[in-house]
Amino acid sequence: MNIYNFTIPRTGESFNTLFQNKNIEITQIVSSNKLNIKEYNQDVNEFVTLLEGKAKLEIEGKIKELSKGDYLYIPAHTKHRVLETSNGALWLAIYFKN
C-alpha cells in the first residue's frame, strides 16, 4: 500500500488502519473540506503529522494551525476537535498507550 493512494471522502474523514497490535495503531486519515465537527477525548496518546494540506484544530480551547509537515502530540484524555481542513488533507496518526 502507498500512503498517498487515497480517495477523498465527500464529507468528514476516512480512517484506514495501516498497522495495529495491542500497544499501537497507525492510521491514515484523509479529510474533506466539509467536516462533521466533533470533540475527541481518547483513552490513548496520539502523535499525528499532516503529510498534505492544511488544518485548524482546537486543543483544550487553544487553536493550532497546521501545514504540510507539521505534527502534534496529543496526550490521552485531552479534548480536541478538528475545525477546518483543506480538501484532501492527509494525516498519519499513531495511537499508543503509556
**Residues facing 65 on adjacent strands:** 56
**Residues facing 59 on adjacent strands:** 62, 80
pLDDT in tens, the chain (98 residues): 899 999 999 999 999 999 999 999 999 999 999 998 999 999 999 999 999 999 999 999 999 999 999 999 999 999 999 999 999 999 999 999 98
pTM of this prediction?
0.94
User: In the chain, which ranges are continuous DSSP H helix?
Assistant: none
Secondary structure class of 22 (helix, strand, coil): coil
Domains and CATH numbers, the chain: 13-96 (2.60.120.10)
pLDDT for res 1: 82
